[in-house]
Amino acid sequence: MKRKLLASLVGMALITGSSAFAAGVTDAMIEKDAQSVGDVLSWGMGQQGQRYTPLDKINAGNISKLVPAWSFSFGGEKQRGQESQPLVHNGKMFVTGSYSRIYALDAKSGKKLWKYEHRLPEGIMPCCDVINRGAALFDNLVIFATLDAQLVALDQNTGDVVWKEKIDDYAAGYSASAAPLIAKGLLLTGVSGGEFGVIGRVEARDPKTGKMVWTRPVVEGHMGYKYEGGKAIENGISGTTNKTWPGDLWKSGGATTWLGGTYDATTGLAYFGTGNPAPWNSHLRPGDNLFSTSTVAVDVATGKITWHYQKTPNDGWDYDGVNEFITFDMDGKRMGASADRNGFFYVIDAKNGKLNGAFPFVSKITWATGIDLKTGRPNYDPANRPGDPTKGPDGKKGNVVFSAPSFLGGKNQQPMAYSPKTGLFYVPANEWGMEIWNEPVTYKKGAAYLGAGFTIKPLHDDYIGAMRAIDPKTGKIVWENKNSAPLWGGVMTTGGNLVFYGTPEGFIKAVDAKNGKELWKFQTGSGVVAPPISWEEGGEQYVAVVSGWGGAVPLWGGEVAKKVNTLEQGGSVWVFKLLK
């Protein structure tokens, strides 16, 4: 009887198109995400984060026929800062919106299937707008982080909450906005809030239940833990207490892992970038301040930091180090690349962290004259470090210096892409500098913890943003396309030799991956600060991007923000396919 009933239900599911019996997303499926074309299962279009699809049905020969298939509005008054990368599985698109919302849409028609809107408390303290960068899929769940530092897992079919777990205390300055990472069957997440003196860390959970497996702080001196039977067991201190931090400053050291991570199955390592040390005033914290402004390679099984590479030791400019670490093959080795906020493009051995190359990818870098390839350390220009406020005229403000890039970076959150077909990285770069000075500051829980002031200024009259194709072997900029406003959205490249990216002026563009020639563009109605994706369904290739101006630029941009204050906010998903 039970067999007949099950067969009947399965038959009904096939007839009606119900996904109730559809196979759940597995770790094996996620590891193959970069090669599969019928879905998009992870942030980065694959765990490595290359943002490359082998699909070539849309190409230079027919891109002029690319037209909207559908558009969906997030609705309401919450139309700002849409940085989300959608996911696609089993005919559904899962896309997060500002203010910690998530939607399930029919991927072919755009019809809303369900919506979940997280209830946020009044006291949230996000540093850089009310954004969310996306979700993770596992089994029958879609999982995303919220601005009040929680993780929420929803049923993919119904939107019902399956589990909810607190990451940390939002009243202390913690928040979360990155898309979680699935690796080896674990859910890996980071934390935001470095401007509030919180402690950066990477955590691993069981994605089916949300229960903790291990946690690894990335500020030297803090203890890591593994969890067995619900009990926390000490798993070793990160680094050596006080080795690179003076006094008690390590207790509020920042170094948050706010962009999330990537994973490489060939190395078994997850790669997370760490943010600025706290406070910004570097005169208060002599030393390297590990593991801030670094790429840390974490053993997924244990949470151990296998290696680290620090890009800006004793950071005094808020250069962070969180930008994505994308692994790729070069000259027979597994390498990783990161375009850092400090203006250098780093190529690093993904297995051991040894520096292979470091190249400027912006036109002006003032804080250092270069990177020593033997030691891996920058050659600082001491005159370009913001002054010690205690030695200023009134003891309240240090000497002002003009530094480039600005703290918003040669590249910020907007993810770059890599094409194994061309061997090039496609980097959304920005050209700007800043006047910056230090001020006295003391730590207070839940309060901003900067100790610095700043004004951002463009370096050129005609452009700020520049999409650049970079050869990782030489650092050569093969081509560039300049853009009047800053580039704040991510990039995708395809087997059709196309590069897709968006602009704050509202366009999504497609250019030739080999020479940068613009081939197509479409006006979405608001600024694009999110990365595009592509997938295939029913024999057709689709391209999608989220539109909605916002993020850090209008909040922190100074003179740059004034230059782009005419741009309209919004909140929508646009999906395109070829006109038949």
* pLDDT above 90 (res 305): yes
Cis peptide before 279 (omega within 30 of 0): yes
User: Exposure pattern of 289-318 as b/e (b: 16+ CB <10 Å)?
Assistant: bbbbbbbbbbbbebbbbbbbbbbbbbbbbb
How crowded is residue 35: how many other Cβ atoms within 10 Å of its Cβ?
Answer: 10
For the segment 421-472, what is each residue's pLDDT rounded down to a tens digit? 999 999 999 999 999 999 999 999 999 999 999 999 999 999 999 999 999 9
pLDDT at 17: 38
pLDDT classification of 5: cutoffs 50, 70, 90: very low
Would you say residue 198 lies in a domain? yes
pLDDT band at 559 (very low <50, low <70, confident <90, very high): confident
Domain assignment present for residue 13? The answer is no
Percent above pLDDT 70 for the chain: 96
The yes-or-no verdict on residue 216 having pLDDT over 90 is yes
**Residue 194, SS3 per DSSP:** helix
Cα 438-442-443 angle, rounded to 5 deg: 120
Q: SS3 letters for 291-333? A: CCCEEEEEECCCCCEEEEEECCCCCCCCCCCCCCCEEEEECCE
Q: Is 394 part of any domain?
A: yes
- What is the structure's pLDDT at 201? 98
280-293: per-residue pLDDT in tens?
999 999 999 999 99
Q: What whole-number percentage of the chain has pLDDT above 90?
A: 89
Question: Confidence class of residue 123 from pLDDT cuts 50, 70 and 90?
Answer: confident
Tokens of 168: 């940390």
User: Which residue of the set 168, 318, 320, 340 is catalytic?
Assistant: 318
Cα–Cα separations (whole angstroms), residue 87 to 32, 144, 488: 15, 12, 20
Confidence band for 485, pLDDT divided at 50, 70 and 90: very high
Phi-psi label, residue 574: left if phi above 0, alpha if psi -120 to 50, beta otherwise: beta
Span 497-526, mean pLDDT?
98
CB 302 within 8 A of CB 318: no
Asked if pLDDT for residue 19 goes beyond 50, the answer is no
Cα–Cα distance measured from residue 391 to residue 360, given in angstroms and rounded to the nearest whole number: 33
Provide DSSP, 17-40. T--TTSPPB-HHHHHTTTT--S-B
| Domain enclosing residue 276, as ranges | 42-52+81-578
Cis peptide before 291 (omega within 30 of 0): yes
| Pairwise CA distance, residues 296 & 263, whole Å | 12
* Average of per-residue pLDDT across 15-41: 80
Residue 148 CA neighbour count, 13 Å, CB half: 16
Look up tokens 């005609």; give the residue.
462
pTM for the structure as a whole: 0.95
Alpha-carbon gap, residue 368 to 514, rounded angstroms: 31
Active site residue 318: yes
Domains held by the chain: number: 1
The DSSP bridge pattern shows strands 491-494 and 52-53 to be parallel
Query: How far from the centroid of its chain's Cα atoms is residue 5's Cα?
Result: 46
- Does residue 4 sit within a domain? no
pLDDT in tens, 371-417: 999 999 999 999 999 999 998 888 889 999 999 999 999 999 999 99
The reply to whether 76 falls in a domain is: no
Using CB atoms within 10 A of its CB, is residue 11 exposed (0-12), middle (13-18) or buried (19+)?
exposed
Looking at this protein, which amino acid is placed at residue 323?
N
Tokens coding 249: 């400053």
Supply the pLDDT for residue 78. Answer: 82
Contacts of 399-402 with CB under 8 Å at 24 or more apart are 399/437, 400/435, 400/436, 400/437, 401/435, 401/436, 401/437, 402/366, 402/433, 402/434, 402/435, 402/436
Residue 60 lies in a domain: no
pLDDT recorded at residue 22: 61
Model pLDDT, residue 20: 42
Q: What is the mean pLDDT of the chain?
A: 94
Whichever domain contains 562, its CATH number is 2.140.10.10
Q: Domain for residue 21, yes or no?
A: no
Q: Let me know if residue 62 belongs to a domain.
A: no
**Mean pLDDT of the 507-528 span:** 98
Find out whether 156 and 137 touch, Cβ atoms under 8 Å: yes
Q: What is the pLDDT of residue 179?
A: 98
pLDDT digit string, tens, across residues 40-89: 999 999 999 999 999 999 999 999 999 999 999 999 878 889 999 999 99
d(CA 164, CA 153): 6
Q: Which two tokens stand for residue 495?
A: 């087997």
Predicted confidence (pLDDT) per residue in 88-115, tens digit? 999 999 999 999 999 999 999 999 999 9
- Residue-wise pLDDT tens digits, 155-202: 999 999 999 999 999 999 999 999 999 999 999 999 999 999 999 999
